[in-house]
Amino acid sequence: MEIFQKLQEYHYEQLMFCHDATSGLKAIICIHDTTLGPALGGTRMWDYECEEDALTDVLRLARGMTYKAAVAGLNLGGGKAVIIGNSKKDKSESLFRSFGRYVQSLGGRYITAEDVGIGPADMDYVRMETKHVTGLEYHSGSSGDPSPVTAFGVWQSMQACAKEVWGKRELTGKTIAVQGLGHVGYYLCKHLYEEGANLIVTDINEENVQRVVDDFGAKTVAPNDIYDVDCDVYAPCALGAVVNDNTIDGFKCQIICGAANNQLKELRHGELLRKRNILYAPDYVANAGGLINVADELIEDGYNRERAMRKAGLIYDSIRKIIEISKREDISTAQAADILAESRIATIRGVKKVFVA
Catalytically active residues are 80
The amino acid at 198: N
Q: How far apart are CA 262 and CA 186, in angstroms?
A: 20
Alpha helices (runs of H) in the chain, residue ranges in sequence order: 3-9, 51-71, 93-105, 120-127, 147-166, 183-195, 206-216, 268-275, 283-286, 289-295, 305-313, 315-329, 333-351
Order the strands of the 233-236 sheet from edge to edge.
219-220, 198-202, 175-179, 233-236, 255-256, 279-280
Q: How far apart are CA 110 and CA 77, in angstroms?
A: 9
Give, for 27, the enclosing helix (H) or strand (E). strand 25-33
Q: How far apart are CA 216 and CA 236, in angstroms?
A: 18
Tell me how far apart the terminal alpha carbons of the chain are, to the nearest angstrom: 42
3-state class (DSSP) for residue 171: coil
